Amino acid sequence: MRTITIFHNPACETSRNTLALIRNSEDEPDVADYLRTPPDRRTARRSSASSPRPA
């Protein structure tokens, strides 16, 4: 089973809706509040590389 990580902005409606969709699918994602705790460069690159959409 793969882990879902969402870089979440609680003030963003799209981010809140995406988080709700993931949770409604019975998955509990790892939630990273990137405004409070920005990812380091390595984490950002790894996340971008594993995304199906270009950054």
Which residue reads 């594993």 in tokens?
50
> What positions carry a catalytic annotation?
12
How far apart are alpha carbons 19 and 9 in whole angstroms?
A: 10
Structure tokens at 39: 């990812």
Structure tokens at 2: 């793969």
